[in-house]
Amino acid sequence: MKAYRFPLILLSSVLIGGIIGLVFGEKATLLKPFGDLFLNAMFTVVVPLVFFTIASSIANMGGTKRLGKIMGSMLGVFLFTGLIAALYMVVVVKIIPPAQGVSLQLEKPEALEDVTLADQIVSTFTVPDFVELFSRNNMLAMIVFSVLVGLSVSMIGEKGKPFASFLASGSEVLMKLVSLIMYYAPIGLGAYFATLVGEYGPMLLGTYFKAGVMYYVSAFLYFVIAFTIYAFMSGKKQAVTVFWKNMLSPTVTSLATCSSAASIPVNLEATRKMGVSADIRETTVPLGAALHKDGSVLGGVLKIAFLFGIFEMNFSGFGTLTSVVLVAILVGTVMGAIPSGGMIGEMLILTLYGFPPEALPIIAAISTIIDPPATMLNATGDNVSSMMVSRLVEGKDWLKKKSAELSSKIA
């Protein structure tokens, strides 16, 4: 229960806010300034936080030839499984729209200007002036800049170590700042929900039940079916057997702790028993806890579809669905090792699609509801990814070789 303490407090604050909204109606809007304080604090810290955490994690990576191959294979696997997760959830929300019939009279995003694809790509990933990187309206450009800074620091070796230390220190400072802000989250989210329910009634609360059920069922099916397929891809039937034979402890631990980081020791032990080499598992599992989150990708698609439904926006068309897939994968990465990373990912969704700040508490509640199964997928997915990386790095017979080595040691 200790691991669930804060999510339960957040959920309780949302429920209390909903009750206050139902009882007092529009009078509950008097609480809106308390919610604004929380939103402003989070939007203020998000840009430096994402810069320091991304640049620091890349700047402090080492490099050897085998490590480079492992890293390349790992990132490829992470992107592949994230893409599959996003496409899968897009199909689910297209079949069962999570917020159908719900409409809130909030400020709607402005229609996108009619620009060429090339111009849109340029404006999305770059800015004409350095100072514009500090605006959350240019989040993707800032992320690209952060990656390039981290790579530059890593490539110059010893000369970059002082700057790498600065980035690591900045990351720790801002993580602590976010953790301090999150102490106020129950009050801020509760106040905002009181305002929302006071204005729009119980229809919003009922929609959460539908979205929650949809996610739990979808996550369980992905866990069983997709992970079995991934294991089969890594080493056919033998790999499937080995994978599921060693999955009980990681699954239970991730559900019990609701933390990908807390699941790392159990995942390392499980992947060792699966036959994954030490350098592969000790690279893929810890980095996967920060960068590989299929459960968060599923949640990202759900949240975007939820907001599209609430704001009565058209959730169709190749361009829209492609952007949803890409943003969901990006959200799954941004959530990383950042404390309350879900909130950061949600702010990214609001920024990229132009939703008003008032939409943040709406999807923040979804994060709390889906947290256990999302964490399960995030954490246990690193194990099957380690097996897939082994297949790419060590060849198709990697598992047979490991089994033969183990048998010879026993003999």
Residue 391 — pLDDT band, cuts 50, 70, 90?
very high
Helices (H), 135-202: 139-155, 161-182, 185-200
Q: Can you tell me which residue has the tokens 């592969």? A: 280
Distance, in Å, from the CA atom of 177 to the CA atom of 42, rounded to the nearest integer, reads 10
Give me the pLDDT at residue 362, please.
80
- Helix/strand/coil (H, E, C) string of 244-278? HHCCHHHHHHHHHHCCCCCCHHHHHHHHHHHCCCH
Q: Which of 386, 16, 5, 28 is nearest to 198 (CA)?
A: 28
Residues 45-88: tens digit of each pLDDT: 877 877 887 788 677 765 556 667 887 898 899 999 999 999 99
38 residue type, one letter = F
Distance, in Å, from the CA atom of 235 to the CA atom of 336, rounded to the nearest integer, reads 28
Q: Can you tell me which residue has the tokens 């690591």? A: 168
Encode 57-83: b = buried (16+ Cβ within 10 Å), e = exposed.
bbbbbeeeeeeeebbebbeebbeebbb
| Degrees, nearest 5: CA angle 71-341-217 | 90
pLDDT for 165 beyond 70: yes
Give me the pLDDT at residue 109, please.
54
Average pLDDT over residues 241-245: 92
Q: Which of 367, 369, 376, 373 is nearest to 348 (CA)?
A: 367
Task: Specify the higher pLDDT residue, 334 or 92.
Answer: 92
* Tokens coding 318: 């190749």
Question: In this prediction, what percent of the chain has a pLDDT beyond 70?
Answer: 82
pLDDT for 227 beyond 60: yes
Neighbours of 251 (CB within 10 A): 18
Residues 175-209: tens digit of each pLDDT: 788 778 888 888 987 887 788 777 666 556 667 77
Give me the pLDDT at residue 14, please.
77
Whole-number average pLDDT of the chain: 81
Give me the pLDDT at residue 410, please.
46
| Degrees, nearest 5: CA angle 89-93-95 | 115
Give me the pLDDT at residue 405, please.
62
The burial of 126, by beta-carbon neighbours within 10 Å (0-12 exposed, 13-18 middle, 19 or more buried), is given as middle
Q: Which of 75, 58, 40, 19 is nearest to 197 (CA)?
A: 19
Question: In this prediction, what percent of the chain has a pLDDT beyond 90?
Answer: 20
pLDDT for 168 beyond 90: no
**Coil, helix or strand at residue 116:** coil
Give me the pLDDT at residue 112, please.
45
Task: Specify the higher pLDDT residue, 258 or 12.
Answer: 12
Give me the pLDDT at residue 242, please.
92
Q: What are phi and psi of 74, to 5 degrees?
A: -60, -50
Give me the pLDDT at residue 231, please.
94
**Coil, helix or strand at residue 105:** coil
Task: Specify the higher pLDDT residue, 237 or 363.
Answer: 237
Q: Can you tell me which residue has the tokens 């490991």? A: 402
Average pLDDT over residues 11-33: 84
Give me the pLDDT at residue 206, please.
67
Average pLDDT over residues 244-271: 81
